[in-house]
Structure 1
Amino acid sequence: MLVRARTFTETSRRAQIVTAAIEVIAEVGYAKASFSRIATHAGLSSTGMISYHFAGKDDLLAACVAEIERVTGSFMEPYLEGADGHVAQLRAYVESNVALVGEHPAAVRALIDIVRNGAATSPGVSGRPAVFEEHFRAGQEAGVFRPFDVRAVTIALTSGLDAVVATAAADPPGPAELARLGRELADLYVRATTSEGESA
């Protein structure tokens, strides 16, 4: 079946609605993020304009998650690409994830609330455990990380990181404080996973 391509205007309107939805969810939470609130925030004349572009709330939330993950990936990717070695990559992931709060606080708060309420699936969040476990195993095989249960450490790392990010996102501190938090957390995980406390 042929699918009609969206026009530039339709694409722009969808982006406008997604941005408004993310900001509303960040401000009032998923439960109170009605189409009416989103339409008002986006400056739309009616909720029908949202329904025209999205099949329903689930469809809109999926688009919100996709946009948040795009923004998150674009922000964190330069940090990760510039990190050479298993430990440096671990540090870059943690520090950039915390720094993300300062650059995109609404996106972070919205994603946390969406995932917490089970309103939509985030491939980036649900896929993290497998990525970290693979990273730790590879580092252990390379002699960089000490022997440990990769599943347990992955759970501890992601849970701790999520808690710090959620706390910071609720009332974002300044860039210097976020950088300090990121370094402290990265130092903690490096000390916990390496024999020397730091290696390449």
Structure 2
Amino acid sequence: MQSKIDSSDQPARSFIETARRAQIIDQAVATIAELGFAQASLARIAKRAGISAGVISYYFAGKDDLIAEVAAHVFDAGEAWVRPKVMRCTSATEALRTFLIASVDYIATSPSNVLAMMNITHAGPKPDGAPRFDPNVTLGRSEGLSRVLEWGQKTGEFRAFAVPVMVTTVIQAINGVTPALARDPRLDLAAYATELADLFDRATRKDLP
């Protein structure tokens, strides 16, 4: 009988722990987005979450561990937003345009996520020179974009260009949206996205005179 009780309780504990970690990450995102990296102490994050700092310490091995999880969360959420839309496209031209518009739309719908990530990035590396988060969390975005650009060159939709250079240029253009939004919260992101899509359409197309 005892083993049955233990077995049935374990999934519930796992669910609760998962939910608690997600709650802490969400509140860390909101705190970092609002106050900046340096001011987002575990105590302030805990207060926003309505828990004690000790609870955070139970789930995360300090602020560095929490920040790494925040970064992974932001990029995972972005990929989950963009990838399905791109995967539905039937041409590389459409896929590139969709990638750009969906990426800016993610910023519009999840401003706290991207503002928190901007503040983490601006904080620079840790005192020992190590990165604040695993750089591999960004690979999904760049690798997905690389495949779209290579697809377009293979089908003849795109002109010849160095794919790594274009990937860097596109991603830097997308990354520039967040500080622009921070400077002007009334920024028309839909128009911004369309302008970016038009710009890179012309930058990649093969059939321009």
Q: Same fold (TM over 0.5)?
A: yes
Between the aligned residues of both structures, percent identity stands at 35
Gap runs ≥5 in structure 1: none
Aligned to 1:99: 105
Shift of the 101–128 alpha-carbon distance from structure 1 to 2, 3 Å rule, reads closer
Residue 198 of structure 2 corresponds to residue 183 of structure 1: no
Question: What SS does the aligned partner of 2:134 have?
Answer: coil
Superposed, which structure 2 residues align to 1:72-87 within 5 Å? 72-87=78-93
Superposed, which structure 2 residues align to 1:1-200 within 5 Å? 6-44=13-51, 46-116=52-122, 117=124, 118-169=131-182, 171-173=184-186, 177-196=188-207
Is the 1:21–1:38 Cα contact (8 Å) retained in structure 2? yes
Is the 1:109–1:170 Cα contact (8 Å) retained in structure 2? no
One-letter code aligned to 1:33: A
Give the whole-Å Cα distance in 2 for the aligned partners of 1:64 and 1:186.
28
TM-score scaled by structure 2?
0.80
TM-score scaled by structure 1?
0.83
The CA RMSD over aligned residues, in Å, is 2.3
Give the whole-Å Cα distance in 2 for the aligned partners of 1:168 and 1:81.
28
One-letter code aligned to 1:141: K
Is the 2:150–2:163 Cα contact (8 Å) retained in structure 1? yes
Give the whole-Å Cα distance in 1 for the aligned partners of 2:134 and 2:172.
17
Give the whole-Å Cα distance in 1 for the aligned partners of 2:157 and 2:90.
13
Gap runs ≥5 in structure 2: 1-9, 125-130
Is the 2:79–2:141 Cα contact (8 Å) retained in structure 1? no
Give the whole-Å Cα distance in 2 for the aligned partners of 1:136 and 1:81.
14
Structure with larger Rg = 2
One-letter code aligned to 2:179: A
One-letter code aligned to 1:180: A
Give the whole-Å Cα distance in 1 for the aligned partners of 2:111 and 2:88.
24
Question: What SS does the aligned partner of 2:176 have?
Answer: helix
One-letter code aligned to 1:9: I
Shift of residue 66 of structure 1? Answer: 2.7
Shift of the 98–169 alpha-carbon distance from structure 1 to 2, 3 Å rule, reads farther
After superposition, what is the alpha-carbon deviation per residue over 1:163-193, rounded to whole angstroms, capped at 9, x for unaligned? 123312554437xx21111111011001000
Is the 1:115–1:121 Cα contact (8 Å) retained in structure 2? no
The alignment covers a number of residue pairs equal to 191
Shift of the 91–142 alpha-carbon distance from structure 1 to 2, 3 Å rule, reads same
Shift of residue 127 of structure 1? Answer: 4.6
After superposition, what is the alpha-carbon deviation per residue over 1:59-99, rounded to whole angstroms, capped at 9, x for unaligned? 21222223223322332234213322111111111001111
Shift of residue 159 of structure 1? Answer: 1.3
One-letter code aligned to 2:119: D
